[in-house]
Amino acid sequence: MAKRLLATLTDTTLFLQEWFANPQRTGSIVPSSRQLAAAMARWLPSDPDSYVLELGPGTGAVTQALLAHGLREDRLVAIERNPKLALLLRQRFPRAQIISGDAWQLDGLLRSRNKPIASVGAVISSLPLLNFSPEEAEALAQKIRAILEPQGTWVQYSYRIHKRRTRGTSRFNLLASKIVWLNLPPARVSVFQK
Ligand SMILES: C[S@@+](CC[C@H](N)C(=O)[O-])C[C@H]1O[C@@H](n2cnc3c(N)ncnc32)[C@H](O)[C@@H]1O
């Protein structure tokens, strides 16, 4: 209990520092709550061999929930742009593939792995899409579309809770959407399929 509290405090301090350094890109002043992380992690692919691609994992709150929901660590690939956070994630999840890079380059980054990854069963994204232009969000959505398996899901949260769809999702089908009130601030988790 004390150990978990300490980890939460450390992650919150780190997040705050990164937010001060780059508020636009960090997108949040505190890590996702356990409730938000669990709402995202419910959407794992049914095939245990499918890869899951996490975008913008931050300090790993959602990553941790994905593993707690049964994802094998060796099936997890995550792209985090902040090198300090990517390093922390590599220490925390040594069997996952943590890529320090830009999510908008996901196609090239996944192709250039030792064992190239051609498709994924789910994309779980904490990227602050509202801080990117509609054109940038659309460009990312096209790359997500290309990498997703036919029945794959794109799970995205947003702080604009009155809208079920966030930027870039107009060409996807909306599968589910719900508000998670126990998060700072409350967030809406929406799930899309192509
Ligand atoms: C809202 S925070 C993630 C919160 C995360 N769920 C947690 O609990 O720690 C957004 C994350 O996206 C990352 N990010 C922003 N732009 C990115 C990009 N272009 N590529 C990859 N990661 C990016 C930020 O560095 C930050 O860690």
Gap between the Cα atoms of 188 and 194, Å rounded: 20
Atom of ligand 1 nearest to the CA of 27: 1
**To which H or E segment does residue 24 belong?**
helix 23-26
pLDDT band at 3 (very low <50, low <70, confident <90, very high): low
Residue minimizing CA distance to atom 24 of ligand 1: 26
Ligand 1 centroid vs 57 CA: distance in angstroms? 5
Mean pLDDT of 17-27: 72
Q: Is 127 in the pocket of ligand 1 (CB under 6 A)?
A: yes
1, pLDDT greater than 90: no
105, pLDDT greater than 70: yes
Q: Is 63 in the pocket of ligand 1 (CB under 6 A)?
A: no
Q: Looking at residue 27, what is its pLDDT?
A: 67
pLDDT band at 15 (very low <50, low <70, confident <90, very high): low
**Domain residue extents for the chain:** 2-193
Gap between the Cα atoms of 59 and 158, Å rounded: 18
Phi, psi dihedrals of residue 121, rounded to the nearest 5°: -85, -20
Q: Is 106 in the pocket of ligand 1 (CB under 6 A)?
A: no
Q: Is 31 in the pocket of ligand 1 (CB under 6 A)?
A: yes
Determine the topology of domain 2-193 in CATH.
Rossmann fold (3.40.50)
Q: Is 25 in the pocket of ligand 1 (CB under 6 A)?
A: yes
Ligand 1 centroid vs 22 CA: distance in angstroms? 11
Q: Looking at residue 25, what is its pLDDT?
A: 72
Gap between the Cα atoms of 121 and 43, Å rounded: 10
Q: Average pLDDT over the chain, rounded to whole?
A: 92
Q: Where are the beta strands (DSSP E) in the chain?
A: 52-55, 76-80, 97-100, 120-125, 148-158, 173-180, 187-193
What would the pLDDT profile of 56-88 be if each residue is shown by its tens digit? Answer: 999 999 999 999 999 999 999 999 999 999 999
Residue scoring higher pLDDT (55 or 25): 55
Q: Is 32 in the pocket of ligand 1 (CB under 6 A)?
A: yes
Mean pLDDT of 19-29: 71
pTM of the model: 0.93
Lowest-confidence range among 17-31, 79-93, 149-163? 17-31
Q: Looking at residue 54, what is its pLDDT?
A: 98
